[in-house]
Structure 1
Amino acid sequence: MIVTPAVRHATAGAAVLLLALPAATATAAAPSAPGAPAARTRLGASAAEPMPPARSFVDPARLDRSGTQVQPLRGAPGLPSVSALSWVVADAATGEVLAARDAHRPLPPASTLKTLFALTALPRHEAAERHTVSDEELTGIGEGSSLVGVKEGYTYKVSDLWNGVFLSSGNDAVHVLAAMNGGWDAMSRLMQEKARALGARDTHVVSPDGYDAPGQVSSAYDLAVFGRAGLQDPQFTRYCSTRYADFPAGGWSYGIANTNRLLTGADGVARYPGLIGIKNGYTSNAGNTLVVGARREARTLVVSVMNPQGGGGFAVYEEARELLDWGFDAAGRVQPVGSLTPAKAPREKVRRAVHSTARDSVQAGPEAQEGQHGEATPSGRTAGLPLALVGSALGAALSLWLWRRFGARGN
């Protein structure tokens, strides 16, 4: 049988590759010299092309643990001593949690739940849209609720109602906006769906305005998630950072002020430089709660604080201030202890399926193959089996080529 040049070239290349495999394997398995960085290359890349550096590992279960979680590096500032039952400090851009205490502890959120209400309802109506309030829309407001002064029969722009929500924490404005979006129960369901979509698993919505209700809880983690999501929305950011506004009352209007003292500097609480806002809250059951965002140079932080146990009614602001100061000082000097970004479960399932065994890798469909290409080369037993299969196939090709070559000469 005649061996064509093309076949001879392919089989000769296979022989060369097969003969080189043991040496390559031995080289990869050889330990590095003491103190020398480990060499890594992409599968199929030249030895001179290094792999990108691995990212630091973040234990996804770390924030589920009780107590304070922080991973300081050399030169990191010490955490302030705060009395809040739960708190989170996170980078708003990356979602990295820099430190936290009992991040997933379920606690009543009070009016900080209005952050989730805004995330859910804000996109549904234009700011300039006008709405005339009916009596039914103002029923069921909890006793002792904070109010902005919405009146039956008055017509308001949607932007006026949102000023009432963010500045005065007006439960009356929340009731009207909820009625405009399907009603109280429908809004509760929509908010619950929004929370899950954002990866907030601790929040259970019963009363969209944050008023104390049996079973209604959130967490410092979820509040930080809502705050971070809000800062990505220009409308949300504009409302939550507004210090003062005029609220209409028929033929006249009156001024309203944001109740977030870190933003306004009211009641003897010093304004925080670079504060963006977000939302404060208080009920007798929840105590004082707060989620704030602040910007310093190129960094924006989100801090949530739930129910300080000491220091009086304004302690929530001072503890948030201390945590913000720490977060800015700790930039680049702590390893993250978690993330506000929701986990991508389908991606992880694909990755596990692809890397479980070589047989799974061979039989995987297009979705699994796409996931495989996005991951680093597997090591150990799952990587060794495909290499052995390649070696066996090349060995068979070499044997066939040799048999054909020398068999043809013998004839």
Structure 2
Amino acid sequence: MNQLHTPKASRNQDTGRESFIRPSMGSGSIRRSAGALFRGVLSASRAKAGTFTDVPTTFSASTASTDPTAPNASATTGNAGRAARHGFPLRTVAALASSGLLATPLLAGTAHADPKGPKAPKPPAKMSQIGGDRLGTPGVQVSQTPGAPKLPGPDILTARSWIVSDAESGKVLAAKNAHWQLAPASTLKMLFADTVLPKFPKDQKHTVKPADLAGMGAGSSLVGIRENLSYSVHDLWLGVFLRSGNDAVHTLSAMNGGTAATVTQMQRHAKELNARDTHVVTPDGYDAPGQVSSAYDLSLFARSGLQNPDFREYCSTASAQFPGDKGKDGKRASFGIQNTNRLLSGDYDIKPYPGIAGVKNGSTTNAGSTFTGVAQRGDRKLLVTVMNPEKKEHNEAYREAAKLLDWGFAAAGKVEPVGRLVGPLSEDDGSGAENAKDKGKGKDADRSTQAALDGAGAKSGAWTALGLTTGALALLGVVAFAVHRRWPLPELVRGRRPRK
């Protein structure tokens, strides 16, 4: 396999969260023991494509390393202690520890940093000022007003970079090092999806060739795609969003003209979105020299992607069925997969977040844990991005994201914005200037845009406008501005309840 890094250098950790075996028709006893170990996890989500009866499984591109210098090699002992403290039987813990299963990310998260290791890096003194001057200033940026809730302190929000913003207006409520260029991990798949997803119809079929799966990094997270089997585009996107499957990404990239062409298109699209902190090297977010993004840019990718109803569907799907191997009768079985976004699907130590509707998580050696999420409460929709928490606790990125969402919903309308999420180049020059003249223009544009949409007489007008020909570019520019401000989240947000 052509590896971007050796196993010692990097390991994609979005793997093996619920099951550590290949799905097979005769593995009932193993499924039962796995279900007993992780009781309560599966009840948080329901399959959209049939009854969820199997343990979700992610395959790994390489087996767990026994090298003591490998990223996860030292995690087993500590994980055994944590598992015992969570009430798992000692006999089960001992068996799992001896088999090496407790070194997996489900119970481990990322291994604790060596206290004698190098000090955490500091953000650059000067960063991009796209969206506003304050967003380029190191440290926490927030404009508290009387009566506004207090932002959680640095002992609670330990991430190197984070941002919380209004998903529709783009107003940034608070941020920390928003433009710090850091390794993005699988959150970069949001840019991949926003770039490639519109190109192929859901029902298109593709038979996977060996070359389609070449070039994946060691330890990549996989959904379990097999050579010489056929998958629909719908299946592949479920693999990308639910299991963060690098095999699904590489298959779709092959359909799109290859990895190099896809990376070029992603970089071009990032530039179009004014995401200038981002440099793309791999389409799946796997660690690679020079591959960076920022909390600000990841929020732009999410905001752009969420305008696409298919993107919204996939990123909000908690669990589904995925096609497996062919049986002796020639028929293909299916197995259950669950979304690795723990604010959506829940975990043994964290509940689904009320109103969550996506978007994407990631974890690699260089990036630590990363997460971008969108949630709705009433008519308010918030975006949050968290990158590399200092606390290397299990599900820490989700915990800090939930804290930011709680604060954002309580603070919305009570704090002055410290910047904004800009629109694409076709709409926005990316500057953060918001003087009175600019604000006046914005209000006029809002009124004109709303009038245009009202005249269209349908909510689908904004989406239809995106497909207009060049003969209607003027109208397209107006409608596109509105699309970046107004879009519906999936209906599941209104019905989702936190697990009791």
> Shared topology, TM-score over 0.5?
yes
Paired with 2:207 and 2:263, the residues of 1 have a C-alpha distance of: 23
Q: Secondary structure at the match of 1:222?
A: helix
Paired with 1:184 and 1:111, the residues of 2 have a C-alpha distance of: 16
Q: Which residue identity does 2:410 align to in structure 1?
A: D
**In the alignment, is residue 293 of structure 1 matched against residue 374 of structure 2?**
yes
1:245 is aligned, of 320, 334, 349, to: 320
**In the alignment, is residue 68 of structure 1 matched against residue 140 of structure 2?**
yes
Cα offset for 1:323?
A: 0.1
**In the alignment, is residue 332 of structure 1 matched against residue 413 of structure 2?**
yes
Paired with 2:152 and 2:338, the residues of 1 have a C-alpha distance of: 30
Cα offset for 1:231?
A: 1.7
1:80/1:311 Cα in 2 relative to 1: closer, same or farther (>3 Å)? farther
1:343/1:226 Cα in 2 relative to 1: closer, same or farther (>3 Å)? closer
- Give CA-to-partner distance per residue, 1:227-247, whole Å, 9 cap, x none: 111222111010000010111
1:271 aligns with 352
**In the alignment, is residue 115 of structure 1 matched against residue 187 of structure 2?**
no
Cα offset for 1:319?
A: 0.2
Alpha-carbon contact 1:261-1:267 (below 8 Å) kept: no
**In the alignment, is residue 171 of structure 1 matched against residue 246 of structure 2?**
yes
Alpha-carbon contact 2:166-2:173 (below 8 Å) kept: yes
1:191/1:347 Cα in 2 relative to 1: closer, same or farther (>3 Å)? closer
Alpha-carbon contact 1:132-1:154 (below 8 Å) kept: yes
1:190 aligns with 265
Cα offset for 1:60?
A: 2.0
Paired with 2:424 and 2:150, the residues of 1 have a C-alpha distance of: 29
Paired with 1:326 and 1:107, the residues of 2 have a C-alpha distance of: 24
Paired with 2:342 and 2:428, the residues of 1 have a C-alpha distance of: 43
Cα offset for 1:72?
A: 1.7
Q: Secondary structure at the match of 2:348?
A: helix
Paired with 1:297 and 1:137, the residues of 2 have a C-alpha distance of: 44
Alpha-carbon contact 1:85-1:307 (below 8 Å) kept: yes
Paired with 2:201 and 2:427, the residues of 1 have a C-alpha distance of: 35
Q: Among all aligned residue pairs of Structure 1 and Structure 2, give the percentage whose two residues are the same amino acid.
A: 54
Q: Which runs of 4+ in 1 moved over 2 A?
A: 342-349
Alpha-carbon contact 1:116-1:195 (below 8 Å) kept: yes
1:148/1:331 Cα in 2 relative to 1: closer, same or farther (>3 Å)? same
- Give CA-to-partner distance per residue, 1:81-123, whole Å, 9 cap, x none: 2000000000001011110000000000000000000000000
TM-score (norm 2): 0.57
1:231 is aligned, of 287, 290, 306, to: 306
Q: Which residue identity does 2:258 align to in structure 1?
A: G
- Give CA-to-partner distance per residue, 1:200-236, whole Å, 9 cap, x none: 1100000110000000000000011111112221110
2:339 is aligned, of 248, 252, 258, to: 258
Alpha-carbon contact 2:422-2:428 (below 8 Å) kept: no
Q: Which residue identity does 2:400 align to in structure 1?
A: E
Instruction: Output the aligned Cα RMSD.
Output: 2.1
Q: Which residue identity does 2:146 align to in structure 1?
A: R
**Aligned ranges 1:3-402 → 2 under 5 Å:** 60-81=132-153, 82-249=157-324, 250=326, 251-342=332-423
Alpha-carbon contact 1:70-1:98 (below 8 Å) kept: yes
Structure 2: unaligned runs, 5 residues or longer? 1-129, 327-331, 434-440, 446-500
Cα offset for 1:313?
A: 2.9
Q: Secondary structure at the match of 1:203?
A: coil
Q: Which residue identity does 2:132 align to in structure 1?
A: P
1:348/1:145 Cα in 2 relative to 1: closer, same or farther (>3 Å)? closer
Cα offset for 1:346?
A: 9.4
1:363 aligns with none
Q: Secondary structure at the match of 1:152?
A: coil
- Give CA-to-partner distance per residue, 1:142-164, whole Å, 9 cap, x none: 10000000011000000000000
1:163/1:343 Cα in 2 relative to 1: closer, same or farther (>3 Å)? closer
Q: Secondary structure at the match of 2:212?
A: helix
Q: Which residue identity does 1:297 align to in structure 2?
A: G
Q: Secondary structure at the match of 1:307?
A: strand
1:345/1:300 Cα in 2 relative to 1: closer, same or farther (>3 Å)? closer
Cα offset for 1:59?
A: 7.8
- Give CA-to-partner distance per residue, 1:51-102, whole Å, 9 cap, x none: xxxxxxx982210110011112221111112000000000001011110000
Q: Which residue identity does 1:97 align to in structure 2?
A: V
Q: Secondary structure at the match of 1:99?
A: strand
Alpha-carbon contact 1:288-1:313 (below 8 Å) kept: no
Paired with 1:232 and 1:270, the residues of 2 have a C-alpha distance of: 27
1:64/1:345 Cα in 2 relative to 1: closer, same or farther (>3 Å)? farther
**Number of residues of Structure 1 aligned to a counterpart in Structure 2:** 296
- Give CA-to-partner distance per residue, 1:22-45, whole Å, 9 cap, x none: xxxxxxxxxxxxxxxxxxxxxxxx
Paired with 1:77 and 1:107, the residues of 2 have a C-alpha distance of: 29
Paired with 2:404 and 2:274, the residues of 1 have a C-alpha distance of: 24
Q: Secondary structure at the match of 1:62?
A: helix
Alpha-carbon contact 1:88-1:101 (below 8 Å) kept: yes
Alpha-carbon contact 2:131-2:421 (below 8 Å) kept: no
Paired with 2:423 and 2:134, the residues of 1 have a C-alpha distance of: 15
Q: Which residue identity does 1:310 align to in structure 2?
A: K
Q: Secondary structure at the match of 2:143?
A: strand
